[in-house]
Structure 1
Amino acid sequence: MSREEDVYMPALLGKNIPIVTTDEKWKLLFGEEGVSDELQALADELNKLVDEQTRFKQKIKDIKRLKKTLLDEVIGISDRLNKGDKSAGKELDDRKRLIGDCNAQIEELEDRLLGLPREIYQLNYKVMVASMSVCYERLHRNTDEINEIDEWLSNTRKELKKQVIRLQEGEMENFNLYSYMHDIFGPEVIDIFDMEYDPERNHRIRTPGSGSIQT
């Protein structure tokens, strides 16, 4: 018995486990990777057993319906026989033979049905555990990736905040320097230097907090 069976079988004993492969969402559990060949083989075998069970049950119903019709006919034929209709004897024998055939077929089908529920339960359990194992592996893999991305985003936010502060400090320093230069040297002198360094073109100087351009 595998580790999964050791762990889960006692807990699931007696529980009503739905046939997992009959749910259209089952294959969605496996995403783009799809169902493995090994698991698909189990699923195919499970579906085959479920189909057999359904088919056998339907055949038993059909045969029982036929048997009831034959029994009803036996009553009518027996009445004719009691009234002296000699031809009814052969018909009665035919009906009894057919009823015997029905009983034999029903018994055979019920015998074949007898072990199917257990086979279906065990195979369905294997498919379920294998499916859960794949899902848990994907969940853990995705969780590790999510945590890694979350950590990266957290570090990036911190670094981004630092860079934003440096950006704002640089803009503030440029703003102050440009203002002081205008005040100290005058606009005519500054215009000469503007030919070499144009803060409007090279480094747009924004007023603190407003985002507007200082001209």
Structure 2
Amino acid sequence: MKDKDLERFEEALKDKKIPLVTLDQKWYLLFDNNLRTFTLTNLEKKLNKLLRRQGQLYNDLKEMEKAKKTLMDKILENMDPNVEEHNGEFKIKKLDASQKLIKDINKKISSGEKELEELPMEIDRVNKRLLIEGMSICYDAMKVNKKNIELINTWIEEVRLELKNNIVKKQEIQEETNQIYSYMHDILGFEVLDVFDLYHDEAPSEE
């Protein structure tokens, strides 16, 4: 597809909500080996990779929030004056370690949330690009099919005309045969003609 055509379709689809095509099994039925192209396959892989990344981020963020809550609970527990801690220095180290882990988790959460916020836009862009590529393939295929149908229709018309002419020709030949036999019958009569019919297979048959 030409770049200007791609840009034209991207602009036309800009505000349209497009379903994620690779999540529909019919998409893969539509693009079998006959219609599949290198570009289409690569775009499918890219879109599916983005979708997997999105799902992974949701799970990772969920797990990090759980880990953060666990660490926060431990910090609160260590800060509780009712909880005995024989080694004060060890207690401080545990608090520092937990706080450092929470800080690291917060960074990862922030980074993950930012990526998760940007992913839908990229997923939508790749999905629309894939759709445009797929529709281009489909319409090209239908264009070829239309041309082939026109060629077949032309052949059918030619055969139909030839068949019609041959039917007329057959009728004319049959009429000529019937006329010959009729004259023979009129000249010789049934009984004499029947003698010749016994030795010849050319007597006209009823059709």
TM-score (norm 1): 0.76
Aligned to 1:136: 139
Report SS of the residue matched to 1:154. helix
Unaligned stretches of 5+ residues in structure 1: none
Map residues 4-83 of structure 1 onto 2, 5 A cutoff.
Answer: 4-72=5-73, 78=79, 81-83=80-82
Q: Are 2:77 and 2:83, in contact at CA under 8 Å, matched by a contact in 1?
A: no
Structure 1 residue 86: Cα displacement:
3.1
Stretch deviating more after TM superposition (32-41 or 124-133): 32-41
Map residues 44-193 of structure 1 onto 2, 5 A cutoff.
Answer: 44-72=45-73, 78=79, 81-83=80-82, 85-86=84-85, 89=91, 95-191=98-194, 193=196
Distance 1:30 1:172 in 2: 57
Distance 1:196 1:102 in 2: 109
Amino acid at match of 1:13: K
Percent of paired sites with the same residue: 34
Structure 1 residue 183: Cα displacement:
3.2
Aligned-pair RMSD on alpha carbons?
2.9
Report SS of the residue matched to 1:16. coil
Amino acid at match of 1:143: K
Distance 1:168 1:182 in 2: 21
Report SS of the residue matched to 1:33. coil
Amino acid at match of 1:148: L
Structure 1 residue 192: Cα displacement:
5.1
Amino acid at match of 2:104: D
Cα distance change of structure 1 residues 34 and 137 upon mapping to structure 2, 3 Å threshold:
closer
Report SS of the residue matched to 2:48. helix
Amino acid at match of 2:205: I
Aligned to 2:205: 205
Cα distance change of structure 1 residues 147 and 34 upon mapping to structure 2, 3 Å threshold:
closer
Q: Are 1:174 and 1:205, in contact at CA under 8 Å, matched by a contact in 2?
A: no
Q: Are 1:49 and 1:116, in contact at CA under 8 Å, matched by a contact in 2?
A: yes
Cα distance change of structure 1 residues 172 and 75 upon mapping to structure 2, 3 Å threshold:
farther
Distance 2:22 2:141 in 1: 19
Cα distance change of structure 1 residues 92 and 158 upon mapping to structure 2, 3 Å threshold:
same
TM-score (norm 2): 0.79
Distance 2:35 2:51 in 1: 23
Report SS of the residue matched to 1:47. helix
Unaligned stretches of 5+ residues in structure 2: none
Report SS of the residue matched to 1:56. helix
